Amino acid sequence: MSEPMAPAEPAASRPESTRTGPGRLLVAVYALFALSACARAGVQIATKFNHAPVAYVLSAFAGVVYILATATLTVGSRTARRIAVLSCSIELAGVLAVGTWSLVDPASFPDATVWSGYGSGYGFVPLVLPVFGLLWLRHWSKRPSTQATTLTSAEDASEPAGSGVAHGESGASGQRAEDVIADGRT
């Protein structure tokens, strides 16, 4: 009979969030841009949508991308970091595409978007922000992962770490410790 498994206990004490250190500033800037882009787009769409619908919808899209980046950078889990890489990549592609489009065909943008002129209206922060975001996420992907110890039963909790595996116990009935290690479970 197999006992229920206890949750994994982290062996290292390093923070698991991308919002530590310089990441705090990155999250704060993303949050500020999420708020400003969404507020600006909301007011423009509500009051004068017919004047420049493409610009206003693109600003709203930029705001949604900033919200997604803020949330995923704040959570910092492995899945959140993957989504953050995707959102920062979309943001960078959007800044480059809309920035180029706004310079090549200014008539399409009677009002500027967050990403017009590569973010020139915002001090080019929209252009450099995704670059810093991707660099920070790359830094996190190169950090050593936290090793975890999984307890297999209530008795194992009172034994020194690893002693159950040393005795041939694996937590799964009829399975040897060597098989568990070969399967990638510890």
Task: Give percent of the chain above pLDDT 90.
Answer: 58
- 68/86 Cα distance (integer angstroms): 10
Q: Which of 100, 129, 106, 111 is nearest to 47 (CA)?
A: 111
pTM across the whole model: 0.68
SS3 10: strand
- 16/35 Cα distance (integer angstroms): 26
Looking at the DSSP bridge assignments, the partners of residue 182 are none
For residue 184, with 0-12 CB atoms within 10 Å meaning exposed, 13-18 middle and 19 or more buried, which class applies? Answer: exposed
- 146/135 Cα distance (integer angstroms): 21
- 99/113 Cα distance (integer angstroms): 9
**Contact call for residues 97 and 112 (beta carbons, < 8 A):** no
Q: Which of 28, 138, 126 is nearest to 85 (CA)?
A: 138
Mean pLDDT of 13-22: 63
Which tokens go with 54?
């493409």
SS3 9: strand
Q: How, if at all, do strands 148-149 and 9-10 pair? A: antiparallel
pLDDT at 3: 55
pLDDT at 171: 46
Higher pLDDT, 102 or 2: 102
- 120-138 pLDDT per residue, tens: 999 999 999 999 999 999 9
> Is residue 153 over pLDDT 50?
no
All structural domains of the chain with their residue ranges: 22-141, 147-183
- 40/122 Cα distance (integer angstroms): 13
Range from 18-27, 38-47, 57-66, 137-146 carrying the lowest mean pLDDT: 137-146
- 140-149 pLDDT per residue, tens: 777 655 544 4
